[in-house]
Copies of this chain bind each other. A is one copy, B any other.
Amino acid sequence: MESTDALSILSAEGFTTPLGPTRPPARRRVDSVDDIFSRLRQGDRGALSRAITLVESARESDQVLASELLDRALPLTGLSVRVGITGSPGVGKSTLIEALGMHIVGQGKKLAVLTVDPSSPSTHGSILGDKSRMAELSAHPNAYIRPSPSGCRLGGVANQTREAIQMCEAARFDVVFIETVGVGQSEIEVRNMVDCFLLLALSGAGDELQGIKRGIMEMADVIGLTKADGDNRLRAEVAAGQIERALMLLPPDPMGRRAKVQLCSAKDRTGIDTIWESISQFVEEDKANGRFDWRRGNQAVTWMEELVHQSLLAAWLRREDIKQATESLADAVRELRTTPRSAANHLLGIVQTDLRSKSIRFE
């Protein structure tokens, strides 16, 4: 697939000769929005990677291209299913995602897997094991796997991922997985960009529920108990019952539904189809009852608000008098001459003064 794409670029731009290229062509950047977008619409993975790189880039010229691509992609984004997947380290998330992904591409669907990892802005992924993750799935022509963005521009990983999802959808991917790591803030962010949320938990470890935070359980639409195979199967069934009883303590969703608990094993390839059926059924129900569109609408509004807040703060920090006052107050705080709270009040006092005249100046 990659080589076909590479060739098609070459021929489109006249780099092939009757004898073929005499040396590997230099890596070139194709920066026309028309070109990237038309290749994106053909499902070209090189163009998709380029588009996501633009979206993640902090360079202003890249951001202009990214904005144009996003504008064009917007009408095309309603057709995919976005699935958030979370689970603590050690539950076998990668192998389960690979098995679930192989099941989905086996149905002739195109699947993109994006990861969100807020724990490391400057590096990404585990210190070991990233390269060999999902080897089978990543080799499949209908799968596209993109690791966590390594940069950190205004708005952070969440907005970059939102925009990467839209690029995948423009490239006609039917299903987009957004994989997140850990049990914290990133789940809340991911829940707010997907249609269905799958929680993976390890069954039969003796403390089945300890690792599942109530807040995460409240977000889950489907719960998969991993490694339910061999000697572990029976304990997994016990754990499933425990979790189902725990779920009864939580209120159901507005449609009266509670998260479905499914046993699964990536090793035995059991339960994988059931998990996908549960996800599909959840999404179909939501499409029928209007919650699918309602949720996506709310997500878009949240996105709008976040963009505004980020820009506002940036404008505040560009104001010269604020910048100077912040610097001198920071020194005072650092030297224990004032408290953070008093210094903040003083800075806000610059606004307060303006408040009396009903205005605040921005540069």
Contact = CB atoms under 8 A, between A and B. Distances in A.
Interface in A73-99: 74, 88-90
A216 B343 contact: no
B339 A74 contact: yes
A215 B304 contact: no
Interface residues of A, number: 81
A22 interface: no
- Chain A interface, DSSP helix/strand/loop, else mixed: helix
Nearest to A217: B127
A215 B339 contact: no
A334 B297 contact: yes
A326 interface: yes
Given A214-B127, A304-B329, A307-B340, A183 B185 contact: no
Contact of A341 (B307, B315, B339, B362): B307
Contacts of A196: none
A9 interface: no
A249 interface: yes
Contacts of A126: 209-210, 212-214
Given A344-B311, A348-B308, A213 B333 contact: no
Minimum-distance CB pairs A-B, first 7: A120-B215, A89-B211, A184-B184, A297-B334, A185-B185, A307-B344, A359-B359
